[in-house]
Amino acid sequence: MGYSPHTEAQREEMLRAIGVDSIAELFADVPSAYRFPTLNLPHPVSEAEILRELQEIASWNAHVGEYTCLLGAGAYHHYIPSVVPAIVGRSEFYTAYTPYQPEISQGTLQAMFEYQTMICALTGMEVANASHYDGGTAVAEALIMAYNVLKGKRRKVLLSPTLHPEYREVSRTYLRGTGIELTGDEDLQADLDTLQAKIDPETVCVVVQTPTFLGEVLDPRRLRRLAEAAHAAGALLVVAVDPISLGLFVPPGEVGADIVVGEGQPLGNPLNFGGPYLGFFACRKAEVRRMAGRLVGQTVDAEGRRGFVLTLSTREQHIRREKATSNICSNEALNALAAAVYLACLGRRGLRQVAEVCYHRAHYAASGIAKVPGFELLSSWPFFKEFVVRCPISVEELNDRLLEHGFIGGFDLSRTHPHLGQAMLLCVTEMVPVPEIDRLVRVLREVTR
């Protein structure tokens, strides 16, 4: 089966028009020894068969439709209003390419302009781009941007140990070969004071995350002091942030952050086993020319009507080639569209409501679990929707038991933060009903008795 509309008679007719006798002749430039290899692939199947097969494969998975999900750690199960898939599923959006022809791409372009504006509104920043691949690559690109803002004259990046472990890994992969040193996260127990003390004249930027990987919300006043210390040394402050938390907490733009990035998946995008996700990226207008990624700008058409185009393209690889701000070419336009529709649906009050429900239920769950014998709450107040508990048995074993009771358990910190012991990072969003929290507390008591 295929999607070619040609009949054999038409193929013959087209070959005659080209002036060749066979299709094979069209491939004369391909070295004959390598031409037309055998592809050892499974036999093709029909549409009905493939769907049956995939339903079977998918049924081997445990998923959030059947289990109560307590996993977060950078990917979050939030409610997605029905409007979001209805809009994102419109093929005028999803079967379009990059809006290089603005006259027939105003849908994508205006939606991206609205998305950029919403990210500015959330983060408190002046400009946002039309997105990166995900939170991790957005962090890595932020480091490169900071390096370029300082004209490549400094070579040390300070990473907070409470930045997501994978963001730190991705950053290291990205910066290999550039001679930039990434440091600050060697001791996972080091606090913000320790990090701040390491700022020196070689420092490009300091990168922190709030809420931290372990769920703790950083005090905006403390962040402001960090920003001031960085700026005093001529360095920048990069803040990675959970966008849902911005429904409630002071945005990084108000405490002096120079670049704000994060994982935008929680904004209307499903878990999808880790991708595709959405890296959001915002900065100050003065530095916009050092920012990577697509940007949509407002302009007018020949009749003076408002319209939107891709702009500042001279930063990008298709024009500036090896001197571009980044090699990035695509963005996550469809995920950004989902985020825009999500934020439009929720609006000013809705996002705050979601953030508050997460906050209250997470604290309720934490205090309930803390009372279960053998469990200890390690997170200090205030946290947002995630918190750390030390468990009486290994997290792996506990998660096996939780699964039997219908829960996808929390993130096993013994892999990434061994100093915490048998510790689990639990996430409670608005998708965990209150009776399920109560049941979780009962089950924990039961399975560890």
Partner 1 sequence: MSEPLIFERSVPGRCGCSLPDAGVPPAPFPEGFLREDLPLPEVSEVDVVRHYVRLSQKNYGVDIGFYPLGSCTMKYNPKVNEVAASLPGFVGTHPYQPAYTVQGNLRLMWELQEFLKEIGGFAAVSLQPAAGAHGEFTGIQMIRAYHEDRGDRGRNVILIPDSAHGTNPASSAMSGYRVVEVRSDARGNVDLEDLRSRCGPDVAALMLTNPNTLGLFDEHLLEIVDLVHGCGALLYGDGANMNALLGIAKPGHLGFDVFHYNLHKTFSTPHGGGGPGSGPVGCAERLARYLPGPIVTREYSDECPGEGHRHTEECFLYDWMMPERSIGRVKTFYGQFAVLVRAYTYIRLLGAKGLRQAAEDAVLNANYLQRKVKQIFRLSHDRRCMHEFVAVGRVEGSDVRALDISKRLIDYGFHPPTNYFPLIVPEALMIEPTETESKETLDAFADALARIAEEARTEPDLLRRAPHCAPVRRLDEVKAARDLVLCWEGLGR
Partner 2 sequence: MAYRIPEELRYSKTHEWARLEGDTVVVGITDYAQGHLGDIVYVELPEVGETYAQGDSFGVVESVKATSDLYAPMSGTVLAVNEALVDDPAVVNRDPYGEGWLVRFSVSNAAEWDTLLDAAAYERLLAEEEGGH
Q: For binding to partner 2 (CB under 8 A), which residues are involved?
A: 289, 313-314, 319-320, 323
Strand order in the sheet with 156-159: 127-128, 279-283, 259-263, 236-241, 203-210, 156-159, 181-183
Of 102 and 421, CB closest to partner 2: 102
Of 313 and 353, CB closest to partner 2: 313
135 binds partner 1 (CB under 8 A): yes
Among 322, 223, 237, 333, residue whose Cα is nearest residue 287: 237
Give the x/- contact pattern for partner 1 in 239-268, rule: CB under 8 A: -------xxxxxx--x--------x-----
Q: How many residues in the shown chain lie near partner 1 by CB under 8 A?
A: 209
Is the CB of residue 420 less than 8 Å from the CB of residue 382? no
Quick one: what does residue 6 bind among partner 1, partner 2, none, with the CB cut-off 5 to 8 Å set by partner type?
partner 1
Q: Both tokens of residue 443?
A: 């089950």
Half-sphere exposure of 232 (CA within 13 A, CB side): 10
341 binds partner 1 (CB under 8 A): yes
3-state secondary structure of 309: strand
Of 65 and 373, CB closest to partner 1: 65
Query: Residue 216 Cβ, how far from partner 1 at the closest point, in Å?
Result: 11
CB atoms closer than 10 angstroms to residue 276: 12
Query: Residue 312 Cβ, how far from partner 2 at the closest point, in Å?
Result: 8
232 binds partner 1 (CB under 8 A): no
5 binds partner 1 (CB under 8 A): yes
Query: Residue 207 Cβ, how far from partner 1 at the closest point, in Å?
Result: 15
Please name the residue ranges forming H helices in 305-432: 317-320, 333-370, 395-404
Is the CB of residue 353 less than 8 Å from the CB of residue 99? no
351 binds partner 1 (CB under 8 A): yes
N residues, the chain: 449
Is the CB of residue 299 less than 8 Å from the CB of residue 119? no
Query: Residue 233 Cβ, how far from partner 1 at the closest point, in Å?
Result: 25
200 binds partner 1 (CB under 8 A): no
Of 132 and 290, CB closest to partner 2: 290
Cis peptide before 382 (omega within 30 of 0): yes
Half-sphere exposure of 360 (CA within 13 A, CB side): 8
- CA–CA–CA angle 202, 203, 204 (5° rounding): 115
Touching partner 1, residues 140-179 (CB under 8 A)? 144, 164, 166-167, 169-170, 172-174, 176-179
Quick one: what does residue 373 bind among partner 1, partner 2, none, with the CB cut-off 5 to 8 Å set by partner type?
none
Give the x/- contact pattern for partner 1 in 386-415, rule: CB under 8 A: ----------x--xx--x----x--x----
Is the CB of residue 262 less than 8 Å from the CB of residue 135? yes
Of 319 and 403, CB closest to partner 2: 319
Quick one: what does residue 35 bind among partner 2, partner 1, none, with the CB cut-off 5 to 8 Å set by partner type?
partner 1
Query: Residue 313 Cβ, how far from partner 2 at the closest point, in Å?
Result: 7
Strand order in the sheet with 386-390: 376-377, 386-390, 423-427, 411-412
Touching partner 1, residues 55-114 (CB under 8 A)? 55, 57-66, 69, 71, 73-75, 77, 79, 81, 83, 85-87, 89-108, 110-111, 113-114
Helix (H) or strand (E) holding 146: helix 135-149
Q: Both tokens of residue 361?
A: 């239920």
DSSP one-letter string for 375-394 = -EE-PPSPBSSEEEEE-SS-
Touching partner 1, residues 21-60 (CB under 8 A)? 23, 26-31, 34-47, 50-51, 53-55, 57-60
363/41 Cα distance (integer angstroms) = 52
Query: Residue 323 Cβ, how far from partner 2 at the closest point, in Å?
Result: 8
Query: Residue 195 Cβ, how far from partner 2 at the closest point, in Å?
Result: 31
Query: Residue 319 Cβ, how far from partner 2 at the closest point, in Å?
Result: 6
Give backbone dihedrals phi and psi of 22, rounded to 5 degrees, phi first.
-145, 160
Tell which one of 151, 160, 207, 273 touches partner 1 (CB under 8 A).
Answer: 273
Query: Residue 447 Cβ, how far from partner 1 at the closest point, in Å?
Result: 16
User: Tokens 């472990």 belong to which residue?
Assistant: 165
